[in-house]
Amino acid sequence: MERLNRIDMLLAMLEKEPEDIFINYALGLEYVAELDVQRGETQLKKVIKLKADYIAAYYQLGKLFESQLKNTEALLYYKSGLEKAKEQKNNKAINEFGEAIFMLED
């Protein structure tokens, strides 16, 4: 399935369930993959607004900003995600956020 068809499909799904976390997150990832950075950023931020502890969105926003060489913003999302991961006692995510932070601060 082509990416643009997936985006259209996700948008149609969001019309029925506008606050579905996974659909919003998937749409953000599709926008990023299409290099539509602004829409991807907006969509991932919406995920965090809908569910502040959805740590995958923090990680993806960090990666998005890192890819744009916006390290200050990337670190903000990585560090916020790290705190959420610690609250959830999610060791895998703690390690991933820690490594991302280490690589940027090195």
CA 38 to CA 33: how far, in whole Å?
A: 12
CA 68 to CA 72: how far, in whole Å?
A: 11
pLDDT higher than 80, residue 3? no
pLDDT higher than 90, residue 41? yes
CA 14 to CA 38: how far, in whole Å?
A: 19
Q: Which CATH superfamily is domain 52-106 in?
A: Tetratricopeptide repeat domain (1.25.40.10)
CB-neighbour burial class of residue 32 (10 A; exposed 0-12, middle 13-18, buried 19+) = buried
Higher pLDDT, 37 or 4: 37
Cα–Cα nearest to 101, from 44, 61, 62? 62
Q: Sorting pLDDT into bands at 50, 70 and 90, what band is 4? A: low
Overall average pLDDT of the 94-106 stretch:
95
Mean pLDDT across the chain, nearest whole number? 95
pLDDT higher than 90, residue 97? yes
User: How far from chain centre, in Å, is Cα 103?
Assistant: 18
Overall average pLDDT of the 73-99 stretch:
98
CA 81 to CA 8: how far, in whole Å?
A: 29
In the chain, list all ranges with CATH 1.25.40.10. Answer: 52-106
